[in-house]
Amino acid sequence: MEIRLLTPADAAAFQALRLQGLAEAPEAFAASLEEEQDRPLEVVAGRLAATEGKAVFGAFVDGTDGSALAGVVGVMREENAKHRHKAFIWGMYVARAGATASSAAR
């Protein structure tokens, strides 16, 4: 398993995994599948561009077709000056196959 910062080049894999999550566990997301499924890939790529205050990480597992994105998590730093030392996670999702693969790797 490899965990790394996602970049705009990962937009297609990120979008596919996000849509899978929205279909499988809609109650876990603020967005809906209907809102996200037609979102242009360029917009998704823009969301993945890391800034000083936010980043999205992905977990990749080896499969029969090479490495596949199996999980994601976003991290965002608080904006208020007195709270900038804190961050929160958002948008965490791990595909069932990814959860199984990571458990088997242990």
Quote the number of domains for the chain.
Answer: 1
- Confidence category of residue 100, pLDDT binned at 50, 70, 90: low
The domain of 37 spans: 2-105
CATH of the domain at 96: 3.40.630.30
Q: Is the dihedral of CA 67, 68, 73, 74 positive or negative?
A: positive
Q: Which residue has the tokens 């990120």?
A: 14
Q: Is the pLDDT of residue 106 over 50?
A: no
The answer to whether 51 touches 74, Cβ cutoff 8 Å, is no
Query: In the sheet that 2-5 helps form, which strands lie side by side, from edge to edge?
Result: 2-5, 54-63, 66-77, 87-94
Higher pLDDT, 78 or 64: 78
- The pLDDT tens digits of the residues spanning 50-60 come to 898 999 999 99
Q: Is the pLDDT of residue 103 over 50?
A: no
In angstroms, what CA-CA distances link 47 with 6, 36, 43, 44, 64?
Answer: 10, 13, 6, 5, 29
Q: Is the dihedral of CA 29, 30, 34, 39 positive or negative?
A: negative
- Confidence category of residue 96, pLDDT binned at 50, 70, 90: confident
What is this structure's pTM?
A: 0.82
- The pLDDT tens digits of the residues spanning 1-59 come to 999 999 999 999 999 999 999 999 888 888 889 999 999 999 999 999 989 899 999 99
Residue in 51, 22, 61 with CA at minimum distance from that of residue 38? 22
